[in-house]
Amino acid sequence: MEQIKGVAASKGISIGSVLLYQTGDPKVSKKQTNDVLGEIARFEAAVQTAVATLGELHERALQTVGEKEAAVFEIHQMMLEDLDFLEGVKDCITSESCNAEYAVQQAGGQLAEMFAGMDDEYMRERASDVRDVSARVVRVLCGCDGNPLEGVKGQVIVAAEDLMPSETIQMDTSKVLAFVTRLGSKISHSAILARTMGIPAVVGLREGFDTLKAGQEIIVDGFNGDVYLGPDEKTLAHFKNERDLYLEKKRVLRSLIGKRAVSLDGKEIEINANIGHPADIALCEENDAGGIGLFRSEFLYMESQDFPSEDFQFESYRDILQKMAGKRVIVRTLDLGADKHAPYFKLPHEDNPAMGYRAIRICLRQPDIFITQLRALHRASVFGKLAIMFPMITSLKEVLEIKKVVALVKCQLDEEHIPYSKEIEYGIMIETPAAVMATDLLAREVDFFSIGTNDLTQYTLACDRMNASLSELYDPRNLSVLRMIALTVRNAHKAGIWAGICGESAGDLELTGLYLKLGVDELSVSPASVLEVRNKVLHTDSREVDDSMLNLYTV
């Protein structure tokens, strides 16, 4: 038996035989042509065919994985209408007098390399979208755009160099036990699709992928990112038992839908969901989230080619509020910078972007952008229960400046006779040590705190959370971080406001009991974690939690 290590991309355990699936761009060679106009016409026809096919895939994805994941195929359609891509292909055909297939590969490859070289992980993953789109057009030109698993009998574990979103969604899921890939990351579209479809997946096997053989029996552990080749009887028995336990756990969690999150000692806590796109609401509903504790509005900017207009933003916020049907929706204002970028912002290069020009600093220095977003949010507020949250606060001065801008926006809307809710809650993220140490003052100016433990951990421990070599130092359970959370909650309650946690540690089941004991009012987690956290709360007695280490010193 051999064990190889990858990245856990989708939970679950599968046991089965390997199907080595050949993916990627069809192999084409450069051919000279005397009919440049004819090749351009072939290319344009192939693009139209590809657009039509993507429309069909979008409809199929809506039925199988929902609106959020289906959106990728709309994005691919837009890519095929992108002038840089279209003109790049035509210029290559014209300047090199070459065949359309070769030109598509060249232009698509250059565009993919541009994305792959970006600092932001989200943008780097968009390189796979470009490759997917290019490969689709080439397959149409070559006449080989078929079903990926056509002719496969029985159930298999699909092993591939990488999987494009279109390949993933076209597969007959009744035949797929799991996915394993040499490349890929947890945030690739195919990994997201695998999670949505409930198919276990391990990606990023790298050189370990070369040890896989067609027809070989393997175990895929989507919890730990392990793949076992030729497992012995003891290992098989162990993982069959783990698989059955997991399926039973999923059944039990579904039974918690509709129940309040009340601990054994009677403490109730609100459990909400973090989302980054209006389409994510379907997952919130499916997992019975109490509301949206964090809507990352920067994705509206990252998915746009230019600054999103007030009307565009208004429609997005209105859509969310209407779909949440009276449940509270907390929208975080623009949080670009650091690891999130939109090229048209033209943000300066920084040696230390995590501590640079980002989030509220951009909004206060470029108030036209800030006012546009705040106007859109206030206009949408009449359609539901809205709360607005401001990130990356370091001082009372910033909060007072924000309140002036909010007052200006309300004055504008009043003068224009545009209605907005008078019940909007205004809160701030507590994610810097500076904010923590001023929580007694800040609490007097806002309606709530939401603790962003990702950045709070990073700044407290002077540890870049994006630096893999420092992963052992980056610890949200560090005593100093937990004391900062305790101080924040204490000062919030003294001022009569509520305090929640929206960072990754909100979903850490080892900390749930401590958060209950500290009096945390709300936890906002990924939609898939809502029921797991609720289950933990229901089986926890916070009186039994030892929090003595937090009180060794007066804070």
pTM above 0.75, yes or no: no
User: Which residues belong to the active site?
Assistant: 189, 502
| Least confident range of 197-201, 380-384, 459-463, 544-548 | 197-201
Rounded CA separation 10/194 (Å): 6
Q: Looking at the chain, how many residues does it have?
A: 555
Angstrom distance (rounded) from CA 345 to CA 122: 16
Please give the CATH number for the structural domain made up of 263-551: 3.20.20.60
According to DSSP, residue 445 is labeled T
Containing H/E element for 292?
Answer: strand 292-296
Question: How far apart, in whole angstroms, are the C-alpha atoms of residue 443 and residue 457?
Answer: 21
pLDDT of 249 strictly over 80: yes
Distance CA 243, CA 416 (A): 60
120/487: higher pLDDT: 487
Q: What is the largest CA-CA distance in the chain?
A: 82
Report yes or no: 544 and 512 within 8 Å, Cβ to Cβ.
no
**DSSP assignment, residue 354?**
G
Strands (E), 350-484: 385-390, 425-430, 448-451
Better-scored residue on pLDDT, 182 or 415: 415
CB-hemisphere CA count at 13 Å for 127? 18
pLDDT (average), residues 303-314: 87
Q: Which of 334, 362, 331, 326 is nearest to 346 (CA)?
A: 362
Q: Residue 382 carries which DSSP code?
A: G
More confident residue, 426 or 105: 426
Q: Which residues lie closer than 8 Å to 366 by C-beta, 6 or more apart?
A: none
Rg (CA), the chain: 25
Mean pLDDT of the chain: 87
pLDDT of residue 140: 87
* pLDDT of 65 higher than 70: no
Question: Is 465 labelled as part of a ligand binding site?
Answer: yes
* pLDDT classification of 1: cutoffs 50, 70, 90: confident
Share of the chain above pLDDT 90, in %: 54
pLDDT digits (tens, 9 = 90+) for 370-409: 999 999 999 999 999 999 999 999 999 999 999 999 999 9
Among the ranges 58-72, 248-262, 431-445, which has the highest mean pLDDT value?
431-445
Residue 520's nearest CA partner among 544, 537, 538 is: 537
What DSSP string describes 450-465?
EE-HHHHHHHHTT--T
Q: Which residue has the higher pLDDT, 379 or 78?
A: 379
Question: Stretch 151-156: mean pLDDT, rounded?
Answer: 79
pLDDT of residue 350: 64
Is residue 535 part of an annotated ligand binding site?
Answer: no
Whether the per-residue pLDDT at 368 is higher than 50: the answer is yes
Query: Please, what is the end-to-end C-alpha distance for the chain in angstroms?
Result: 53
Q: Which amino acid is residue 198, in one-letter code?
A: G
Please choose, from the candidates 486, 455, 485, the residue with its C-alpha nearest in 3D space to the C-alpha of residue 339.
455
Contacts of 101 (CB under 8 A, 6+ apart): 26, 28, 138, 141, 142
Comparing 97-106, 148-157, 208-217, the range with the smallest average pLDDT is 148-157
Q: Mean pLDDT, to the nearest integer, of 141-148?
A: 68
Tell whether 454 is in a known binding site: yes
Band (pLDDT 50/70/90 cuts) for residue 517 is very high
Mean pLDDT of 254-272: 95
Sort strands 7-10 and 217-221 into parallel, antiparallel or unpaired: unpaired
The C-alpha angle with vertex 520 and arms to 516 and 524, in degrees rounded to 5, equals 105
Question: Could you identify the residue written with the tokens 């709300």?
Answer: 522
Domain residue limits, the chain: 2-23+148-229, 36-142, 263-551
Cβ contacts of residue 17 below 8 Å, gap of 6+? 156, 157, 215, 216, 217, 218
- Give me the architecture of the 2-23+148-229 domain, per CATH: 3-Layer(bba) Sandwich (3.50)
- Residue 272 annotated as lining a ligand binding site: no
The predicted structure's pLDDT at residue 161: 86
Q: What is the mean pLDDT of residues 108-117?
A: 80
Q: Which residue has the tokens 């809507």?
A: 295
359 three-class SS: coil
- Does residue 277 or residue 357 have the better pLDDT? 277
Q: Which band of pLDDT confidence, cut at 50, 70 and 90, is reported for residue 554?
A: very low
Q: 332 a known binding residue?
A: yes
Task: Confirm if 107 and 100 have CB atoms less than 8 A apart.
Answer: no
467 a known binding residue? no
E strand spans, 363-467 = 385-390, 425-430, 448-451
Average pLDDT, integer, range 135-144: 83
Q: Which CATH architecture has domain 36-142?
A: Orthogonal Bundle (1.10)
Q: Is the pLDDT of residue 263 over 90?
A: yes
Would you say residue 468 has pLDDT above 60? no
Q: Which one of 21-25, 85-89, 179-183, 418-422 scores highest in mean pLDDT?
A: 418-422
In degrees and rounded to multiples of 5, residue 281 shows phi and psi of -60, -30
Supply the DSSP symbol for 346. Answer: -
Q: What is the mean pLDDT of residues 14-34?
A: 82
More confident residue, 528 or 408: 408
Instruction: Give the pLDDT confidence score for residue 123 in this predicted structure.
Output: 64
pLDDT given at position 107:
86
Q: Is 271 helix (H, G, I), strand (E, B) or coil?
A: strand
d(Cα 8, Cα 158) in Å, to the nearest integer?
15
Q: Nearest 5°: CA angle at 445, between 439 and 449?
A: 50
Q: What is the pLDDT, as a whole number, of residue 471?
A: 66
